Amino acid sequence: MTTTETSPASSGARAGAADEALIELGLALRSGGYHFTTVTPATHARVNGRTGNEVARDLRDVFGWSRPFAADVLPLGLLALLEVADALEPCGDLWRSRVRFSSYDGEIFVHSAFPTAAADSVFFGPDTYRMADAASAHVHDRGQPVRRAVDIGCGTGAGAIAVAKRAPEAEVFGVDINDRALRFTRVNAVLAGTDRVQPVRSDLLGGVDGEFDLIISNPPFMIDPAGRAYRDGGGPDGNDLSLRIVDAATERLAPGGSLVLFSGTGIVGGWDPLRHAAQERLVEPGLVWSYREVDPDVYGEELDGPAYDTAERIAVVLLTATRTR
């Protein structure tokens, strides 16, 4: 072996050390009272663009707002943890964290720094809160216990972790095609103490077998000309991935099992293309479903671009489908 080669064992050791550093960093922030609610990218850019917000002054600025910082802004040891975690980069004469930490459900979640421009960025934002809330409410309202659950396109693992906390006997999978998402899910599950969440690399449900009592998902649903995986839902309406999830779920739901899909759709002339296409797929006997708008008007800034030049609004929606027999 030459000096430029890296053995699998040493690569694995470095990955393990990086994950341990992220876990230690998350624990340190939580024990110090850190709390941050992540906003939409447009709001984030507006707040960071205000005079006086150019440089970080505290931990929320560093790990929430993703602002450049001087080393002395961080408590002793946190800079070293960022470096070991491969999450530190220079920014002129300052530094910048390549990860953010967000608060939800009494837990802390690591995810990609702002702006989430890289193809493998792992997004956490208002839709994450909404989806995880919807999944938690569904588990609470079910008449039967959840034995097996899966979060398709798990991202940070927030949905899978929320389910695992409320279904303590369940086997819970977090599946994604993004290796960075699986890493963050693994770290976040440790931070939350949910050791039954299993991250699995999988295209939809192709990497896991069997039936499920609960399938949840918050897939990308935007029309994104750049084709970024965390954002682009595919197809002319941005709905292709959501519909593929509906198809996959209806094949793998156990009797009494449910799909909880949180997605979004552009409304054109009062027409909702996602609802129409989903309705055509959910005519199978033994499936009952509901569909509602959670928020009728989100991401309004997208209406200024050519991708949504015919849409009158963008809505986020919740589709629930249950196999009764």
The segment with the largest mean pLDDT, out of 11-15, 142-146, 303-307, 317-321, is 317-321
Are 103 and 161 part of one and the same domain? Answer: no
Decide if 121 is inside a domain: no
* 2 domain-assigned: no
The CATH number of the domain holding residue 303 is: 3.40.50.150
The per-residue pLDDT for range 139-172, each reduced to its tens digit, is 999 988 999 999 999 999 999 999 999 999 999 9
* Residue 277 amino acid letter: A
Residue 288: how many other CB atoms lie within 10 Å: 11
Task: Indicate if 313 and 193 belong to the same structural domain.
Answer: yes
For 93-112, what is the mean pLDDT?
97
Out of 58, 80, 112, a domain closes at 112
Residue after which a domain boundary falls, among 52, 87, 112: 112
Mean per-residue pLDDT over the chain, rounded: 93
Residue 246 and residue 319 in one domain = yes
The model's pLDDT over 240-293, given as tens digits with 9 standing for 90+, comes to: 999 999 999 999 999 999 999 999 999 999 999 999 999 999 998 889 999 999
Which residues, other chains included, contact 320 with Cβ-Cβ below 8 Å and sequence gap of 6+?
138, 258, 259, 260, 261, 289, 290, 291
Q: Is pLDDT at 52 greater than 60 in this prediction?
A: yes
Q: How confident is the model at residue 9 (pLDDT cuts 50, 70, 90)?
A: very low
Same domain, 166 and 258: yes
User: In the listed set 83, 112, 141, which residue is the last one of a domain according to the structure?
Assistant: 112
Assess whether 142 and 31 both reside in one domain: no
For residue 136, tell me if it sits in a domain: yes
Render pLDDT for 186-214 as a digit per residue (tens, 0 to 9).
999 999 999 999 999 999 999 999 999 99
* Residue 230 binned pLDDT confidence (cut-offs 50, 70, 90): confident
Q: How many structural domains are present in the chain?
A: 2
Decide if 240 is inside a domain: yes
Q: Are residues 61 and 149 in the same domain?
A: no
Whether residues 180 and 227 fall in one domain: yes
pLDDT bracket for residue 316 (50, 70, 90)? very high
Asked if residue 235 and residue 316 are part of one domain, the reply reads yes
pLDDT higher than threshold 50 for residue 303: yes
In a domain, 304, yes or no: yes
Cis ω before 115 (30° cut-off from 0): yes
pLDDT score of 284: 84
Domain assignment present for 17:
yes
Please tell me whether residues 267 and 160 are part of one structural domain: yes
Establish if 306 belongs to a structural domain: yes
Provide mean pLDDT across the span 97-120: 95
Structure confidence at residue 8 (pLDDT): 42
Same-domain pairing of 19 and 83? yes
For residue 127, name the pLDDT band (cuts at 50, 70, 90): very high
Q: How far apart are CA 39 and CA 45, in angstroms?
A: 10
| Claim to verify: residue 16 and residue 156 sit in the same structural domain | no
The residues near 26 (Cβ < 8 Å, ≥ 6 apart) are 101, 108, 110, 187, 188, 191
Residues 17 and 69 placed together within one structural domain of the fold: yes
- Please report, to the nearest 10 degrees, the dihedral formed by the alpha carbons of residues 123, 125, 130, 131 taken in order: 10
pLDDT band at residue 14, thresholds of 50, 70 and 90? low
Percent of the chain having pLDDT more than 90?
A: 86
Structural domain containing residue 60: 8-112
In a domain, 252, yes or no: yes
Residue type for position 52: G
* pLDDT higher at 37 or 15: 37
> Can you give the pLDDT at residue 117?
85
Q: Which residues contact 16 (CB under 8 A, 6 or more apart)?
A: none
